[in-house]
Structure 1
Amino acid sequence: MSSECFDGDDALTRYDRWRRSRWEEVAGPDGKASLIAYRTITEPGQEVPEVPGRWTSTGPSGSLTLTATRDQGVSVDGQTVDGTVELMTGAVGLSFPGGRRGTIEELAGAHALAVWDPAAPTLVGLRGIDAWPWDPAWTVEAEYRPADAGRILELTRTTSPVIRDTIPAAGDLVFDLRGERHTLRAFDMGSDVLLITFTDDTSGTDTPSMGRWLILSRPQHTTGTVRIDFNRALLPHHMFSAAFPCPLPLQENHLPLRVEAGERAPVFEEEAAVSTTTGPAV
């Protein structure tokens, strides 16, 4: 068990600091709420309605190219595009007219273009993130049980049409909460980061029906303990921008109790006047 205490003023200070960084992650200049499109590139010369240019992919292990003319105002890593350029997944800086930017990602075996806009209505109108008050009773230590080699988890993503995907299984987290033993399965997100998507008895009423997330650090050793702090339960990115292809929670990751901790809902401009809990940096 970590020597870091679960309660006390220091823990509350750390939580408040985390809430501020969380707000910046969602509502900052490059925040999650600025995503306006997430398009898979599956056809030669494909057009993306939100930005100029034509896109061609030869598959996830192949190349992705962008074709544009100088007058379309597209640049890659600061260089204006006039012709055809090859793009690398995760390592390209795309700029478009109007301050929009792009990133290249991979989704379910295909190249995907994410388009971000500092003037996105979801970003401009976001006023806060409603959350339950911090409570140290919602922090537990869990036993980490690594998955067998090659084990994968099948999931469904919030796309239209629906995409079914697989992600390497990291392992299971076993813990006691409210007098009962529970198990949650974690995805392997790389860089020693674990993602848990879960639902509980608040899902669909006080919190989104598509559940919430926990993002945790993988133990340094094969086995060990992981701290789960439900006060840091996150709303999926999809709640801030419908363009995100977020994974829906695994059926087995349902907790049969009300987890009245963590984030509850985004607060947008039209709702701000009736919100009673959080301000913009909380």
Structure 2
Amino acid sequence: MSADTLETLDTAEASWLAWRADRAAGLRAPRGVLSLTSHHWLGAEPAPVVGVPGLWWADDDGAHVRVDGDGAVTDGDVAVLLDAEALAPVTGTRTVVVAEAGSAVPFVVGDIGVELALRTGRYLLRTRDPHAPALAAFVAAGEGVVVPAFGFDPAQVRDLPVRWYAGPRAAVVDGAKPGLVHHVQVVGEVDLDGTTLRLVAGHHGGATLSFTDRAEGAPEWRAVHVADAEVEASRRTGTLRVDLNRASAYPSHFNDHGTCPRPLAGNDLPFAVEAGEKDPR
């Protein structure tokens, strides 16, 4: 093995370690995935929600909350949740409209964010608590704690044959919770050891490869996100570099309150990928 090859592998592992540290830093965020403590589907009639003041319901006009004048619920935004003086009390009835597959944190109760999300045409209320037990335990464990993962394997940095479609193809996938679906854009496909897997457009550019496999200790499904630069390079070379060491668990694998998309039908590997993150629970 040449010195250049060794240097490349060392760089890949160092980059992977940095990626794992970034993942852990995100989990320590006060309103990250570990802050989720509950979820409630809103019905058509005003009803109380455990732990949250007011009466809540949803219809074709959006999600609604009705509160009295005690100021227990305040207007909020993710960017200013920790700035209590910037929050204005909500009284009477307030309506919030969220785009499908989107979410917002329009209200706070004390320092708990009340998040509204729209999934498959239904409004979902979730609470994000910066003092959630799971988050507190992760933070208390120290900055060296990361998501459990298989060891780095340089052989899992793969250059895969890729075929990009002339245009995106609409598809529907199931969600983490029964009855939920997600609309995705399929943009191409790769060949991985005899199995053809389809790629979807990434939420923030690039492409995402989501799959199931047979690795013991891995979550039910995982995903590798490929950056724009790799996608553009692959259009010239016909191969897409996919680092399976970065196969990551979805937010719904960390607690019971996620609504994440499942892989496309057929994105099932009949063997174990012993690389990437393990089941965090």
- Regarding TM over 0.5, the answer is yes
The 2-side partners of 1:93 and 1:140 are apart by: 43
**Residues 1:56 and 1:173: Cα distance change in structure 2 (over 3 Å):** same
More helix by share: 2
Q: Does residue 89 of structure 2 align to residue 80 of structure 1?
A: yes
| Aligned counterparts, 1:131-142, within 5 A | 131-142=149-160
Partner deviation per Cα, 1:42-86 (whole Å, 9 max, x = no partner): 323133223222223223xx3322212232521113111111122
Normalising by the residue count of structure 1, what TM-score does the alignment of the two structures yield? 0.77
Normalising by the residue count of structure 2, what TM-score does the alignment of the two structures yield? 0.77
| Aligned counterparts, 1:8-23, within 5 A | 8-23=9-24
The 1-side partners of 2:164 and 2:275 are apart by: 25
Partner deviation per Cα, 1:235-278 (whole Å, 9 max, x = no partner): 121221111123333441111222111111326xxxxxxxxxxx
Q: What's the counterpart of residue 189 of structure 2?
A: 173
Q: What's the counterpart of residue 66 of structure 1?
A: 65
The 1-side partners of 2:179 and 2:166 are apart by: 24
Equivalent pair of 2:169/2:187 in contact (CA under 8 Å):
no
Residue among 124, 133, 137 paired with 2:136: 124
Q: What's the counterpart of residue 84 of structure 2?
A: none
State, as a whole percentage, how many aligned pairs show the same letter.
25
The 2-side partners of 1:64 and 1:6 are apart by: 54
| Aligned counterparts, 1:148-227, within 5 A | 151-155=170-174, 157-159=175-177, 162-176=178-192, 180-202=193-215, 205-208=216-219, 210-217=220-227, 219=231, 223=235, 226-227=240-241
Equivalent pair of 1:231/1:261 in contact (CA under 8 Å):
yes
Equivalent pair of 2:208/2:224 in contact (CA under 8 Å):
yes
| Aligned counterparts, 1:234-253, within 5 A | 234-253=248-267
Which ranges of structure 2 fall in alignment gaps of 5 or more residues?
Answer: 1-5, 77-86
Q: What's the counterpart of residue 29 of structure 2?
A: 28
SS in 2 for 1:265: coil
Equivalent pair of 2:249/2:278 in contact (CA under 8 Å):
yes
The 2-side partners of 1:254 and 1:120 are apart by: 34
Equivalent pair of 2:173/2:262 in contact (CA under 8 Å):
no
Q: Does residue 122 of structure 2 align to residue 110 of structure 1?
A: yes
The 1-side partners of 2:46 and 2:137 are apart by: 34
**Residues 1:38 and 1:194: Cα distance change in structure 2 (over 3 Å):** farther
Equivalent pair of 2:71/2:89 in contact (CA under 8 Å):
no
Higher RCO (Cα < 8 Å, 6 or more apart): 1
Q: 1:190: how far off?
A: 3.6
The 2-side partners of 1:9 and 1:259 are apart by: 21
**Residues 1:106 and 1:193: Cα distance change in structure 2 (over 3 Å):** farther
Q: 1:223: how far off?
A: 4.9
Residue correspondences, number:
251
**Residues 1:70 and 1:35: Cα distance change in structure 2 (over 3 Å):** same
Q: 1:122: how far off?
A: 2.3
Which ranges of structure 1 fall in alignment gaps of 5 or more residues?
Answer: 268-282
Q: What's the counterpart of residue 272 of structure 1?
A: none
